[in-house]
Each structure stands twice: as C-alpha cells, then as structure tokens.
Chains A and B, each alone.
Chain A
Amino acid sequence: MTETEIIKMFVGIFILLGAFLSLVAAFGLIRLPDVYTRNHAASKSATLGVMLTLLGTLIYFYFIENHFNSRLLLGIAFIFMTSPVAGHLISRAAYNSGVKLWGKSVVDDLGRDRKKMNHRKS
C-alpha cells in the first residue's frame, strides 16, 4: 500500500513540474520582447515540460496499472530530438525573412557577416 502511495507522489511531482514548466514557457512567450528571446522560452521550457509530463504518465501506468506503454517512451525520445531543431528553424526563418532584433540588442554578428558577403558579391 505504501509503495503505491510513494509512486503516486513521485508521479504527482513529475506531472506538476511539467505543468509548471509549460506555464513558465507560456509566461515567457508573453513577457519577452522579440521572436528570438521568446524562442528561448518556447524551445527549452516546453521541451522539458512535455517530457516530464509524459514521464510521469509512463511511471503511473507502469507501476499502478502494470502496463508498459512504449509509445510514451517514443514520444519522449522524439520530442527530445525534434524540439531543438524546431527552435533553430523558427529563429532562422525569422532572421531570413527580416524580423528585426529587439531594440536593446547589443551585437549582431550575423548581420555584419551577411553584409560583408554582399559587398564581396557586388
């Protein structure tokens, strides 16, 4: 009896932590100033949030219901692999379509190097 209680407690911690991180990601999307900084919040907190929630579900079904769901494991693995790529692609697409950096940004080496290359071409 106590063992299931302990496991349930851990499952609760995992899922609540995941929900909290997703909440932080949502806050970040609203509070941060431009696409690039918002992308930081979206690509990091959302990844770990979803992963922890899925992990909690996996543990719950394995220990309480005695049913190992391999699809949850696959979900964790694919989120882990794809979400950094998605974050990179969104910021790259934003930069290439000319979204400006936030006004208080300090340096922009990419813009400098792009300009240099265009000079050399023309």
Chain B
Amino acid sequence: MAFQILLNFFLAFVWMFLKSSYTPASFFVGYFFGLLIIYVFRRFFDSRFYLVRVNAVAVLFLLFIKELFLANWSVLKLVLRPKLNIKPGIFALPTELKKDWEITVLANLITLTPGTLVVDVSFDNKTLYIHAMDIEDINEAVDSIKNSFEKAIMEVSR
C-alpha cells in the first residue's frame, strides 16, 4: 500500500515536470492520472488497489460517527427517565481480532456503542470484558459488535 502511494506521488511529480508548471492544481491533475494508471495496472501489485483500503477506513470512520450519535441518544433517554430501572453488569465477549491496534480500535468502538463500555482485556487478547448499562438488551449490542464492527475493522487490515 505504501509503495502504491509513493508511486502515485512520483507519477504526479513526473506530470508536473512534463507540464513544467509547479502549481498545486497541476499536482492534483497528475495525481489523478497516476491513480488511473495504478488502477489499470492493479493486477501487477502484491497488495490490493490502495483506494479500496482508503474506502474501508472511511466506512469505519462513518460507523464511529453513527455509533456516537446512537450512544448519546440512549444515554439521554436513560438519564432523563424519571425512574432508574437498569440492570448493569460485566460480561465477557470473545473476539477474533489478533493485532493490538485492531483490538484498540474495537474497544474504542464498543465504548461508543449504546450502553457498553470496555473494562478490561484479557492477557491473551482473546476476550474483552464489557460493562453494560442494561444486561437484558445486550444481544443486540453483541450482534452489532460481531457483525458490523469486527467486519469493518477486518476490511481495513486485510
């Protein structure tokens, strides 16, 4: 991926020298044409076309924003309700992610999901201990963690 970006910059500079105009506009035009060239030759690189990964990062970021808003909505409902009827608790969640940064991102995402907060990670990096505001509607949260978050993170690291 790093190699492709470097190549793209190189092609942009070549374009600038060919046009012999050194403005940011011609740099971006060159970058765009370089992107097209890399896209056409994408089969000859070891890794995927790098815009795919950039796209995956953007999807992950939007997921973060969406979860932040949902979490605020649920906390708001809970705090402003006249009676507190919650059943908090800590439950264990096994994760399939391996690398440290992946688990960090997943823990941050879980902290921003409605009603859940990571308390601890086990020593072998296999289990996350999550404090939940209401243990009864936890199935939904586990579902979204397993299906959407882990997949979105794997999409980036693959």
Residues of A within 8 A of B (CB): 21, 24, 27-28, 31-34, 36-37, 39-41, 43-45, 47-48, 80-81, 84-85, 87-88, 91-92, 95, 101-102, 104-111, 113
Contacts and interface: CB of A to CB of B under 8 A. Distances in A.
29 contacts: A28-B78, A31-B79, A36-B88, A36-B117, A36-B131, A37-B86, A40-B75, A40-B117, A43-B111, A43-B117, A45-B72, A45-B76, A47-B112, A84-B108, A88-B118, A91-B119, A91-B131, A92-B119, A102-B88, A105-B88, A105-B89, A106-B87, A106-B89, A107-B89, A107-B90, A107-B91, A107-B135, A109-B92, A110-B119
Main secondary structure, interface of B, reads mixed
Given A24-B75, A31-B84, A102-B88, 10 more contacts: A28-B79, A43-B117, A47-B112, A48-B68, A91-B131, A101-B88, A105-B89, A107-B90, A109-B129, A113-B122
A87 B90 contact: no
Interface in B110-137: 111-112, 115, 117-120, 122, 127, 129, 131, 133, 135
Contact of A110 (B76, B79, B80, B120): B120
B45 interface: no
A42 B136 CA distance: 22
Interface residues of B, number: 33
A94 B117 CA distance: 13
A28 B115 CA distance: 13
Which of A37, A44, A84, A105 counts the most B-chain CB atoms under 10 A from its CB?
A44
Contacts of A41: 75, 79
Contact of A33 (B84, B92, B111, B119): B84
Contact of A47 (B68, B90, B131): B68
B11 interface: no
A95 B90 CA distance: 11
B56 interface: no
Interface of B: 64, 68-69, 71-72, 75-76, 78-80, 84, 86-92, 107-108, 111-112, 115, 117-120, 122, 127, 129, 131, 133, 135
A40 B129 contact: no
B111 A110 contact: no
Contacts of A80: 64
Nearest to A51: B68
